[in-house]
Amino acid sequence: MPAFASPELIGAAQRGGHGAIEALVRAVWPGCYRVAFCVLGEAALAEDAAQEACIALYRGITSLREPSSFNAWLYRIVVREASRGRRRRARPAVIVEAAAGFEPPVMDLDIQRALALLSPALREVTVLYYFEDLASREIAAVLGVPDGTVRFRLMMARRKLRHILASYGEACTFDNAEVSDYAI
């Protein structure tokens, strides 16, 4: 599981130092935004969700009992805030992020479009598994569902993504056998 921040920074923030909490928020912001964007597919909503997650972190870090569970705790907060943002949204996801001077590769756009076509439950497990490198049991803890449910959702997501991405043709091939083991 990729760490949001160093254990030392988490410990300092837990002890209540105002500057340490601010430093922790700055350190986790990119990861919070990345997860929220992958789940939501829209920059503005992802930014809102990441900000809400950072506010929850700021308010709750001193009450976190076990520092070793910080990553799972924060993933849970980010996914919850992204889910809230998705429910508030009245229109379908806008896939392409218009960032200043940033042109994502075509393959990235295809993947973003394909992810946006998945149901929220399938998108969440896919993002946490493939983009955040969480194990199925860690995803289960973050989402509050059984491990078997996570594995089933991953299987369903792979099937749907295989079908969606098949329409893009054979534009991309992988020579690396290791990559093909994880290919959708």
What does the alpha-carbon distance between residue 106 and residue 137 come to, in Å, rounded to a whole number? 32
What does the alpha-carbon distance between residue 52 and residue 28 come to, in Å, rounded to a whole number? 13
Phi, psi (rounded to 5 degrees) for 170: -95, 40
What does the alpha-carbon distance between residue 6 and residue 10 come to, in Å, rounded to a whole number? 6
pLDDT tens-place values along the chain, 184 residues long: 467 788 888 888 888 777 888 999 999 999 999 999 888 888 889 999 999 999 999 889 888 888 888 988 999 999 999 888 877 764 444 444 433 344 444 445 577 788 888 898 999 899 889 888 888 998 998 888 999 999 999 999 999 988 887 776 544 444 443 333 444 3
pTM of the complete model: 0.64
For domain 7-182, which CATH number applies: 1.10.10.10, 3.40.1480.10, 3.90.1150.10, 3.40.50.620? 1.10.10.10
Task: Give the domain ranges of the chain.
Answer: 7-182
Q: Residue 169: helix, strand or coil by DSSP?
A: coil
Contact 61, 4 (CB under 8 A): no
